[in-house]
Amino acid sequence: MQTVLLISESEWLALRAEVAQLAQQVTQLLQPAPAAPDRILPTEQAAAYIGLCAESLRRARRVGRIQGVRLNEKDWGYRRSVLDAYPLRYHRPSPFNYSI
């Protein structure tokens, strides 16, 4: 047996409008956020950002372990997203191993 609830037409229209507004808010929240532009750091800043010296970062770029962006004829830059992925991909264990 089902329960029936009688409401006025004006109350029904207000409820329908509220549900439609909530549905629109939910779809806006579920849409992916626009991607922020990827910042490019020069070699010295990029090396400091990931904890390497500048020469080690240049060597990693030459070997192909990290991708660089040519800024001009002489200088290279590195995207922050690539720098964020670098330590995760090339994880070097700590030289201090305290396991007994």
Per-residue pLDDT of the chain (100 residues), as tens digits, is 889 889 999 999 999 999 999 999 999 888 887 777 789 999 999 999 998 899 999 999 999 999 999 999 989 999 999 998 887 666 555 555 555 5
C-alpha 98, offset from chain centre: 34
What are the angstrom distances between the C-alpha of 39 and each of 15, 58, 97? 46, 18, 36
